[in-house]
Amino acid sequence: MNGIDDIASRADLADRCLLIRLPSIPPEKRKRDKALWRDFELAAPAIFGALLTGLAGALREEESVVLTC
C-alpha cells in the first residue's frame, strides 16, 4: 500500500504472502484525501454489508467443512 518493497523477506512469511503488483495511478486520476474519505464514507455501508454477507455464507457452510491434516 505504501510502496515498501520486499517487506516479507523471511521465507516462512514470504511463503504465506500474496504479492500483487499494481500500476501507479496517473496524477490526473488521483483523488484528494478529502474526496477519497467522502467516497469511502458513502461506500462504507455497502462494504460492511458485503463483509457480513460473506461471513454469513461462511458460517452457513461451517458444518460441511472437513479438515484433513
Cα(68)–Cα(5) distance, rounded to whole angstroms?
A: 35
CB 44 within 8 A of CB 50: no
Q: Which residue has the higher pLDDT, 7 or 1?
A: 7
Q: What is the mean pLDDT of residues 3-14?
A: 64
What are the extents of the domains in the chain?
A: 1-46
Give the tens place of pLDDT for each residue, 13-69.
767 777 788 899 999 999 999 999 999 999 999 999 999 999 999 999 999 999 898
Cα(19)–Cα(4) distance, rounded to whole angstroms?
A: 12
Cell numbers representing residue 21 in the block:
503488483
Cell numbers representing residue 2 in the block:
505504501
Q: What is the mean pLDDT of residues 7-13?
A: 66
